[in-house]
């Protein structure tokens, strides 16, 4: 029962469409009408600008962190508490990508996944973040950095577990979330292979007030 409740909690937290809300408040637009038609920080950067995108990113990260921490708080006396935290974190990504509040649309889950991973295994994020940021900086492809991070996360977490610095539920979370994030980038992967993927910094023409 704790795992089911954790999944529901995580999903509802993740489903809060912060990208859509910020777009409405700052520019009077629906992010889903522009660019990738997603509600995440990358599309926000192209359509809303750096400040709004940073806010969306932080709020989306916060959803993942909150899901894990609230699950730990609510199920602290349960022997499956860390599994409940992992389930809540994963469910938050599902909620972000397919939000019940906006007709099961959403983002790709990168920021929310990172937030939950940071709460599950802080050392993984500390090791992974410079790799992902460096790759994005070097190639200018956010999607490439995101997919690479998703694939490396379970490997790094498993190595940390081997030295006593991570848990088995954290490995399971990293593997499941990494797979989900990678699948969510299927269209980006196709464009990367075709050489047509958009690079960071490219702007989207926006009609304000619409």
Give percent of the chain with pLDDT exceeding 90: 92
202 domain residue, yes or no:
no
Per-residue confidence (pLDDT) for residue 202, from 0 to 100? 72
169 domain residue, yes or no:
yes
Whether the pLDDT of residue 210 is over 50: the answer is no
199 domain residue, yes or no:
no
Instruction: Report the range out of 1-5, 87-91, 199-203 with the highest average pLDDT.
Output: 87-91
pLDDT tens-digit profile of 126-149?
999 999 999 999 999 999 999 999
Give, as one character, the DSSP assignment of residue 33. Answer: G
Whether the pLDDT of residue 209 is over 60: the answer is no
Range of the domain at 133: 2-194
Instruction: Choose between 169 and 77: higher pLDDT.
Output: 169
Contact criterion met (CB below 8 Å) for 64 and 117: yes
Q: With bands split at pLDDT 50, 70 and 90, how would you rate the model's confidence at 208?
A: low
Mean pLDDT, to the nearest integer, of 180-186? 97
Per-residue confidence (pLDDT) for residue 204, from 0 to 100? 67
201 domain residue, yes or no:
no
Q: Backbone phi, then psi, for 99, in 5-degree steps?
A: -75, 130
203 domain residue, yes or no:
no
Whether the pLDDT of residue 64 is over 90: the answer is yes
Kindly give, in sequence order, each residue whose CB lies less than 8 Å from that of residue 197, ignoring residues fewer than 6 positions away.
141, 143, 144, 188, 191
- Mapping DSSP onto H, E and C, the string for 131-148 reads HHHHHHHHHCCHHHHHHH
Number of structural domains found in the chain: 1
Q: How far apart are CA 134 and CA 126, in angstroms?
A: 13
Per-residue confidence (pLDDT) for residue 34, from 0 to 100? 94
Average pLDDT along the chain? 95
200 domain residue, yes or no:
no
How many CA within 13 A on the CB side of residue 22? 25
205 domain residue, yes or no:
no
CB atoms inside a 10 Å sphere around CB 157 = 29
37 domain residue, yes or no:
yes
């Amino acid at each position: 029962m704790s795992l089911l409740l954790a999944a529901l909690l995580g999903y509802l937290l993740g489903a809060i469409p912060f990208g859509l809300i910020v777009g409405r408040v700052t520019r009077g637009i629906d992010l889903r009408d522009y660019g990738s038609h997603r509600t995440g920080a990358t599309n926000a950067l192209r359509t809303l600008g750096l400040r709004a995108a940073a806010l969306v990113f932080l709020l989306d990260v916060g959803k993942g962190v909150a899901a894990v921490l609230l699950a730990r708080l609510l199920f602290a006396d349960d022997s499956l508490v860390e599994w409940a935290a992992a389930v809540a974190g994963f469910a938050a990504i599902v909620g972000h990508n397919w939000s019940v509040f906006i007709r099961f649309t959403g983002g790709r889950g990168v920021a929310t996944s990172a937030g939950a991973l940071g709460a599950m295994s802080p050392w993984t994020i500390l090791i992974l973040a410079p790799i992902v940021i460096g790759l994005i900086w070097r190639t200018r492809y956010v999607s490439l950095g995101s997919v690479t991070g998703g694939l490396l996360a379970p490997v790094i977490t498993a190595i940390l577990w081997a030295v006593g610095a991570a848990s088995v539920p954290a490995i399971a979370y990293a593997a499941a979330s990494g797979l989900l994030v990678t699948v969510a980038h299927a269209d980006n992967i196709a464009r990367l292979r075709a050489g047509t993927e958009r690079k960071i910094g490219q702007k989207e023409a926006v009609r304000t007030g619409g």
